[in-house]
């Protein structure tokens, strides 16, 4: 029996969704896959304690700093083309990371990998918007996209731990090359090029925004080791703030801005961007500190620490996969608020549980944090692109991803800096336990702020945000 056009279109959309999700999983996975391998990377490459944070931050920083430029490139040159360019850069940088022998090479390659992600990520979300019609079809696609972010972040810790102990932390980066090549071949076959939008690059906006984000995050991270009285710390934070203010001025006057300020005219979208940054800042800090706590305080190996995250990962996955049905029944607003509250309870619980060097006291709060992630990211993603015209899909996707990565890098920097306050005189496991506990307390504050934004701007009765 011949295959009908509807069945062919459905098969093609399934292939497109698979390509988008696998590529996005690669991006997010590489944020977390190194965390359980950090102790081995620290010893093997000779990182300093303060410099170790840059293994994560170099990636998220260039990712967030270049996202707006990557999104604009997709609008102008075509999203499939930039998808392929980003995937190529990402895959080659992964290879360099896998063979790196010094901290400098490792950090430089992680930064280059972040650049590839900055080009790739906006294209994945924009292709999803243009490939799936509004309504139930897009609801499922966006939910799976958001689930990929949460689940792969948690799953990366498990993979990273098993690889660090069983083979090498390097293997996690080597496997990106064959997967990247396979996705490029599949994209050429199944993904159609999008219509290009005539225009020019807002080079001034791209440079100023990148300088501002880099300087701000550098200053915050430096404060952890040098303190807030340090001149370089103050200069970095001050310069970053000035650059970001200048960026807003430049964008208000640009004929074709890299980040149209009109995207922030919608209160729901603006709140979603801020809420996403706060939520991700807390949750990336959760993975960063808990992974080290499990190894350095509880005494687990890298693989054991990765396995210890499995309850978090499983709950995250179950809730994320159930999100479309839950949203259809209760509304996106209620699902979002309930998820954020669940994550907040888990984070507060963790801050107390970390005062004991026991894995059993951590399991339930870690599961609550995973449940919060699984239910919150879908509605936050939908609210970030709601009511956006198709010609602005790339720009809106870029801002969603900027909020995600800026929240990750700046949030981690803030948690590292705050965790270092008042820890003078402490040593060994006592020092690490106190820093982890303080980081969870700070993360709880960030999630509480997320909850306020969700209740005030996104939790409308009977809202069906994912269907808009």
DSSP line for 316-334: HHHHHHHHHHHHHHH-HHH
In this prediction the pTM is: 0.73
Q: Are 196 and 78 in contact (CB under 8 A)?
A: yes
| Residue 243 belongs to a domain | yes
The pLDDT value given to residue 154: 64
Give the number of residues written for the chain.
Answer: 468
Q: What is the pLDDT of residues 174-202, one digit of tens each?
A: 888 888 899 888 888 887 776 666 666 77
CA 305 – CA 165 distance, rounded (Å) = 10
Task: Examine residue 387 and state whether it is found in any structural domain, yes or no.
Answer: yes
Q: Name the domain count of the chain.
A: 2
Burial (CB count <10 Å: 0-12, 13-18, 19+), residue 22: middle
Considering the domain architecture, whether residues 208 and 186 belong to the same structural domain is answered as no
Q: Does one domain contain both 312 and 455? A: yes
Phi, psi (degrees; rounded to nearest 5) at 328: -60, -30
Residue 1 lies in a domain: no
Q: Which residues contact 262 (CB under 8 A, 6 or more apart)?
A: none
Residue 3 lies in a domain: no
Q: How far apart are CA 149 and CA 161, in angstroms?
A: 19
- Name residues whose C-beta falls within 8 Å of residue 182's C-beta, 6 or more positions apart in sequence: none
Same domain, 121 and 252: no
Query: Domain limits at 241?
Result: 202-257
Q: 172 with 214, same domain?
A: no
184 with 210, same domain: the answer is no
Contact 24, 199 (CB under 8 A): no
Structure tokens belonging to residue 78: 């075509």
What percentage of the chain has pLDDT greater than the value 70? 84
272 & 234 share domain:
no
Answer yes or no: do 315 and 434 share one domain.
yes
Asked if the structure places residue 2 within a domain, the reply is no
For residues 81 and 166, is the Cβ–Cβ distance under 8 A? Answer: no
CATH number of the domain that 274 lies in?
Answer: 1.20.1250.20
**Closest C-alpha among 404, 402, 397 to residue 75:** 397
Q: Are residues 168 and 62 in the same domain?
A: yes
Q: Is residue 392 part of a domain?
A: yes
Confidence class for position 368, pLDDT limits 50, 70, 90: very high
Q: Is the pLDDT of residue 10 over 70?
A: no
166 within a domain of the structure (yes/no) = yes
Are residue 284 and residue 172 in the same domain, yes or no?
Answer: yes
């Amino acid at each position: 029996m011949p295959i009908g056009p509807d069945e062919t279109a459905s098969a093609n959309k399934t292939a497109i969704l698979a390509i988008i999700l696998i590529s996005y999983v690669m991006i997010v996975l590489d944020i977390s896959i190194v965390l359980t391998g950090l102790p081995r990377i620290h010893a093997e490459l000779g990182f300093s304690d303060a410099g170790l944070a840059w293994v994560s931050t170099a990636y998220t920083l260039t990712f967030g700093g270049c996202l707006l430029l990557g999104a604009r490139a997709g609008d102008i040159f075509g999203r499939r083309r930039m998808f392929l360019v980003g995937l190529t850069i990402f895959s080659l940088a992964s290879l360099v990371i896998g063979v790196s022998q010094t901290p400098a090479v490792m950090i430089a390659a992680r930064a280059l990998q972040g650049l590839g992600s900055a080009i790739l990520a906006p294209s994945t979300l924009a292709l999803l918007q243009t490939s799936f019609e509004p309504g139930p079809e897009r609801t499922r696609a966006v939910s799976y996209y958001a689930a990929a972010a949460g689940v792969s972040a948690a799953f990366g810790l498990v993979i990273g731990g098993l690889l660090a102990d069983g083979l090498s932390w390097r293997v996690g980066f080597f496997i990106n090359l064959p997967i990247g090549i396979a996705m490029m071949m599949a994209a050429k076959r199944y993904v159609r090029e999008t219509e290009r939008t005539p225009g020019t690059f807002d080079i001034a906006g791209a440079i100023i925004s990148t300088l501002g984000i880099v300087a701000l995050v550098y200053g915050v991270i430096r404060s952890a080791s040098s303190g807030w009285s340090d001149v370089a710390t103050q200069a970095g934070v001050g310069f970053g703030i000035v650059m970001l203010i200048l960026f807003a001025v430049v964008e208000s006057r640009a004929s074709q801005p890299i980040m149209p300020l009109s995207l922030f005219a919608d209160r729901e979208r603006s709140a979603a961007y801020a809420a996403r940054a706060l939520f991700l800042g807390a949750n990336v800090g959760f993975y960063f500190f808990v992974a080290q706590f499990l190894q350095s305080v509880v005494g687990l190996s890298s693989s054991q620490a990765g396995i210890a995250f499995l309850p978090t990962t499983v709950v995250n996955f179950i809730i994320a996969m159930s999100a479309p049905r839950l949203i259809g029944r209760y509304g996106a607003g209620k699902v979002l608020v309930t998820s954020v509250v669940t994550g907040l309870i888990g984070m507060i619980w963790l801050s107390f549980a970390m005062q004991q060097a026991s894995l059993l006291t951590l399991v339930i709060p870690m599961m609550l944090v995973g449940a919060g992630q699984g239910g919150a990211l879908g509605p936050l993603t939908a609210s970030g692109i709601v009511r956006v015209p198709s010609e602005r899909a790339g720009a809106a996707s870029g801002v969603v991803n900027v909020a995600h990565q800026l929240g990750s890098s700046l949030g981690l920097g803030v948690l590292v800096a705050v965790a270092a306050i008042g820890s003078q005189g402490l040593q060994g496991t006592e020092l690490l336990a106190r820093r982890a506990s303080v980081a969870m307390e700070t993360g709880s504050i960030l999630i509480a702020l997320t909850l306020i934004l969700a209740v005030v701007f996104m939790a409308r009765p009977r809202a069906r945000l994912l269907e808009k």
